[in-house]
Structure 1
Amino acid sequence: MKISLKVGKVENEVAEAVIVFFFEKFHEDKGPDGVYKKLDSALGGMLKDLVNNKEFEGKGDQVLLIHTSKFLKAKKLLLVGLGKQDDFYLDLIRRRVGNGLKRVRDIGTSKAVIAMPERIPQKFKTADIFQGIVEGAELALFKFDKLVSEKEKEKEKEIKELTLLLESRQDFKEAQKGVDAGEKLSSAVNMSRELIIKPANFSTPTFLAEKAREIAKALRLKCKVLSEREIKKLRMGAFLSVAKGSKEPPKFIIMDYHPRRAKPHTIVVVGKGITFDSGGICLKPSKDLYKMKYDMAGGAVVLGVIQAAASLKLPLRVVGLIPATENLPSGSATKPGDVVISHSGKSIEVQNTDAEGRLILADALAFAKRFKPAAIIDLATLTGACIVALGDQAIGMMGNDQKLMEMFREAGMQTFERVWELPLWKEYEEQIKSDVADIKNIGSNGGAGAILGGIFLKKFVGDCPWIHLDIAGTAWTDRDKDYIPKGATGVGVRLITQVLRNWK
């Protein structure tokens, strides 16, 4: 979709459809230059009639389409309510833009115009509003159709051009800044979504590695992909124990965005890259097993973060690590009760082969320390227990640094990829003690599953500031949301990138 920014008047805009936003009590605005009065005048009092009949009052759940070709140069006008002005928050603009564009798309609109909302509280910056508008548009209209036949594609409705309208040139520069950031972030999110949605017979470890190289080439980054032989040389026994059951070769992907004038901090982002998770010998139930292609969401998000950081030219060195493999049963697969030696030298008793994500992350986290990072961030679809605890609304967050966790809380509210802290109390460590090895990969009593996943990973980061994000409940949605279509969400790309943007 082509997005452009221009200065103009809503009532004079030539378009298939124009989307206009109103807060409640918009009709009480006494100023002569407001959009409501201008439109109402051009429409011969139609808006005033709608207000008087209570058909549209700017409430948060109101959307009204009116045909205006007899009055305006625009064929249709979509009125979208924003609710009470005092209740406005940034994610609301993403939501209302997403819903509005889906509405006009579904009636066959290919070219749409969005007018800058009036009366936005002053604490919200113009750049942030326009970034939110673009994110709401690009993320809501995403669709994965790469495997659909051309004949079926022809039936799909699509918005091809979107114009964002400013009434004054005064804010143009800031608005353009927001548009540019929104496009770069949305592109990174949608790239990640596509990788996650793509079936596992396409999105293999080798495919992920090729995608990493493609991104690195386009953005002039360093990228190194370690083969199984090289992984063995690094003595990553935990990682390789998961890969043993599959014929697909594992890959360890290292991406390095290192700008010339970077701040003296290196941030390492580690993502779980299980391109299909059957559970291994501890086989999962068949119900919804097809969704286990999404178990590489953490790895896909790492690629998205690296792409976003480089596209936005952030002044930080960001290293991305993705241990990528399948987890399948076979005659050569790891068995429950096997003991493996990790890259850190710690021995691990594998009591459950379906707790494999923490095994591949253990070696990647230990490897991350060689970069002497200011922080390590890992994210993974790690535990079903996190879904039970938090559902699909919050990311489970654990870590060893309160300042870093506060940065994630703040970024979570800015992006609405919200986090909720779970404790890593010392008492939990008893549950992963093994009788035959240093630690085991599941707990003793079946409780606190998400926390024990974090407790396990903590053993491999040492004293380095570290955050673990369990995105098991948020990486996939079974229903359409405002600007998140059914399927992969790409959650984590905007959150982590915002933390990097806020880094001081």
Structure 2
Amino acid sequence: MNLHVQKEFPGRGDKIVFVEEGKFQKEGVSPVEFEGKKLSTLLWREPWGRIVYVGIGTHPYKRDTLRKAAGLGVKSLLKIGARDISLDFSPCAEFLPFAAAAVEGAILSSYRFEQFKEQSAQRKNKLEDLRIISGPVSDESLLQKIEKEAQQAVEIADAVNYVRAIGNMPANYITPEVLSQKALELAEKRKTIRVEVFNRERLEKEGFGGLIAVGKGSINEPRLIVLDYAQGESTAQPVLVVGKAITFDSGGISIKPGEHMDEMKYDKMGGCAVLGIVDAVSRLGLPLRLVGIIAAAENMPSGQAYRPGDILQTYGGKTIEVLNTDAEGRIVLADALAYGIKQFNPCLVFDLATLTGACIVAIGKQKAGLFSNREDIAEFLWKQSEDYGDPLWPLPLGDEFDEAISSDVATVKNVGGREGGACTAASFLRKWVGDVPWVHLDIAGPAWITKEYPYLEKGATGFGVRLICRYLMRRIEDKSL
């Protein structure tokens, strides 16, 4: 896809025009038909192409409004055969600072999961050219800034779509081994990334007892995938990003109800997000060292599966009393966090996981639960998350949650009862983090969607990629990383 920033519309192709509520005037269109209400649309045909007018409501305007508006417009145009689309900001130049968000929405809305459809049912066209039409802007430095930010948005959105493409694949296509192959393929493409894969034999030899236990019920053996990105000769402490990738979660011996179990192919989305974050950071050439670790396993019941009542010894020696084999994500993350912190001595740790249904009960499906042992980091992420496109809501840690997972026979037990389930899961993970600055994102709600959003189709969302990439970019800009 080609991106252009220019002052005038070239007079060909199709375009999207953003309209403030109450300010739309066009001969032959009454306010009853269209007046610019938020995310309302009007299709208009001209001799040179088509225009989709998209309402953005009234002031104050947010980046996410422009992201949604552009996505809605692009979706509409792609359905009717568009390939060359302009985002026209010339009628209202005050929206130009939001151009990158609009570009992001356009790219995200262009993705479709059609791999298993018959060819006749697949969309024939794709977005080939995207333009930002600025209008008569005299400040060339502003245009350069907009072009730079828009190109960054393209790279990040492409990485999100890469995550969605893997995330939507079913468990008979994406196993832990295949996910490790995806990481190796990424390293072949991006020469700034090195990948190391731990097979079952190495996991057993080095003491990854949690990952081994969760994966041993399946014929598809577990993998630990380590991606190491560095730009230049960076000697600074790395940022560590850890993801849960349960390629299918049946619940194991503590088997889940059958309803919606097909959606458990999405239990790998934390690990997939790690792939996307490393991909995006490499695309952008960010000047830092970033280590991504993916704990990949398939949680299945069998004669070899781990059981309620088992005691597991994780990497580094801490032990877990298993009360429920469906609380497996925190077990594999314990190994991955312990290894990553010991091996790489990071300055900051993120983990992403579709960890608890309790988080959905607490805050719904559109936001991820945010936990951290650093209030300043948590507050910044919370306040910026909607602008970044991945909204968060802070949830508590505390002594009461530590007490809930206290075990009589091990370091901790893997569940702490019904109350505060997302919080006890986060407290469990904190046992393996210690004092390292750490952010845990429980993405169980927004990791996939079952109805279309303005710029996302049903299925995997790639949640977390935009958030963490833009946070790292901000820290680099502030010279605090």
**Superposition TM-score tier, normalisation by shorter sequence:** over 0.9
Aligned counterpart in structure 2 of residue 47 of structure 1, from 26, 45, 51 = 26
Q: Please, what TM-score do these two structures have when normalized by structure 2?
A: 0.93
Aligned counterpart in structure 2 of residue 56 of structure 1, from 16, 23, 34 = 34
| CA shift for structure 1 position 501 | 0.8
| CA shift for structure 1 position 233 | 1.9
CA gap 1:117/1:406 in 2 versus in 1, 3 angstroms: farther
**Which residue pairs with 2:129 in the alignment?**
161
8 Å CA contact 2:62–2:387 kept in 1: the answer is no
SS of equivalent residue, structure 1 residue 47? coil
Question: Partners of 2:115 and 2:45 in 1: how far apart?
Answer: 35
- Segment drifting more, 472-481 vs 158-167: 158-167
- Segment drifting more, 357-366 vs 101-110: 101-110
The count of aligned residue pairs is 471
Question: Partners of 2:408 and 2:133 in 1: how far apart?
Answer: 66
8 Å CA contact 1:21–1:117 kept in 2: the answer is no
| CA shift for structure 1 position 166 | 2.9
| CA shift for structure 1 position 117 | 5.2
Aligned counterpart in structure 2 of residue 136 of structure 1, from 97, 105, 127 = 105
Q: Which runs of 5+ in 1 are unaligned?
A: 28-45
**Which residue pairs with 1:430 in the alignment?**
403
Q: Percent identity?
A: 38
Aligned counterpart in structure 1 of residue 362 of structure 2, from 379, 382, 389 = 389
Aligned counterpart in structure 2 of residue 249 of structure 1, from 209, 218, 221 = 221
Question: Partners of 2:296 and 2:313 in 1: how far apart?
Answer: 18
**Which residue pairs with 1:35 in the alignment?**
none
**Is the radius of gyration larger for structure 1 or structure 2?**
1
The residue type paired with residue 73 of structure 2 is: G
CA gap 1:460/1:195 in 2 versus in 1, 3 angstroms: same
Aligned counterpart in structure 1 of residue 21 of structure 2, from 20, 24, 28 = 24
CA gap 1:271/1:107 in 2 versus in 1, 3 angstroms: same
The residue type paired with residue 20 of structure 2 is: F
**Which residue pairs with 2:114 in the alignment?**
145
Question: Partners of 1:308 and 1:80 in 2: how far apart?
Answer: 29
**Which residue pairs with 1:496 in the alignment?**
468
The residue type paired with residue 59 of structure 1 is: K
The residue type paired with residue 209 of structure 2 is: G
8 Å CA contact 2:5–2:132 kept in 1: the answer is yes
The residue type paired with residue 179 of structure 1 is: A
8 Å CA contact 2:90–2:133 kept in 1: the answer is no
SS of equivalent residue, structure 1 residue 323? strand
Q: Please, what TM-score do these two structures have when normalized by structure 1?
A: 0.89
Question: Partners of 1:91 and 1:246 in 2: how far apart?
Answer: 41
Question: Partners of 1:253 and 1:293 in 2: how far apart?
Answer: 18
The residue type paired with residue 260 of structure 1 is: G
Task: Please give the residue correspondences for 1:214-229 in structure 2 after superposition, counting only pairs within 5 Å.
Answer: 214-220=185-191, 221-229=193-201
Aligned counterpart in structure 2 of residue 365 of structure 1, from 318, 337, 343 = 337
| CA shift for structure 1 position 107 | 2.5
Question: Partners of 1:351 and 1:117 in 2: how far apart?
Answer: 61
SS of equivalent residue, structure 1 residue 50? coil
Question: Partners of 2:119 and 2:423 in 1: how far apart?
Answer: 46
Aligned counterpart in structure 2 of residue 471 of structure 1, from 443, 447, 456 = 443
SS of equivalent residue, structure 1 residue 268? strand
- Segment drifting more, 138-147 vs 480-489: 138-147
| CA shift for structure 1 position 156 | 4.7
Aligned counterpart in structure 1 of residue 149 of structure 2, from 178, 188, 193 = 178
SS of equivalent residue, structure 2 residue 33? coil
Aligned counterpart in structure 1 of residue 297 of structure 2, from 299, 310, 325 = 325
8 Å CA contact 1:411–1:498 kept in 2: the answer is no
Question: Partners of 1:134 and 1:19 in 2: how far apart?
Answer: 12
The residue type paired with residue 145 of structure 2 is: E
**Which residue pairs with 1:210 in the alignment?**
181
